Structure 1
């Protein structure tokens, strides 16, 4: 479990390390046991007031693509420093207006044992063509729970963070 202090330290390091021109807003930094995800907000595009939503979306996609290419070497440099410092992979994403794109992110394998009723749920999703495999069906289920239970999951994460903080202050600390 990542403590609030650990999360704050990583966020603080990135806030101090990233070039100012990359920070229209403070970066969103998320940490788990495998990965640090950094989502940057960059300047929105200048399009005509009467531009269609499609034109605006394509302009934002173009801005993200240009940012990705123009900052590649510096992002790699920052990521390598952070990976050595925090022993986790770094993934990058960018937001422009209401358009967002992840450049890289880790897909970590997760093993689990399921009883027949749970396997039948996954097999139904595979048989219906919703997923190509049990693994993909399980990932689909996790995304669905994440979408529909976000408030509850956020509250649970906050509570776990407080427990982790208390543990670090305990007698064995």
Structure 2
């Protein structure tokens, strides 16, 4: 399953599809300027991150510790944390010169500060592609294993076993 547009294009190309023709077809359907629009607001980026399982209040607190960040970098941070976009995708969405330059800027403007607050060693890089993995390891995702869901499983198993037993008795 492709993780982003670049992966999807690469897979389609490997399957023998002509990417330039597909891009031309898409351009007819959807103008290029609309292809990658930055979410209109920080709220939209946070909503997308929330839908991907991130704990927004914890992330807001983390960004507050760092200090002043432009709204553009906050949006890029939330979108990178979703893991849905490559650096090239984010660069195109934010009208940045290239994914490589965006990676360098992200590491300089945000990654170096995040390393301090996330207790990461100095040798490792914290960039767009590693952000989601590191946030997951550090507990910035919503805990979906609540106790109520876990307690349901044993009772369901018992109920299903009783249903199966009564069903087999009726069959005989």
Larger Rg, first or second structure (1 or 2): 2
Is TM (by shorter chain) over 0.5?
no
TM-score class normalised by the smaller sequence: under 0.3
TM-score when scaled to structure 1?
0.25
Per the normalisation by structure 2, the TM-score is 0.25
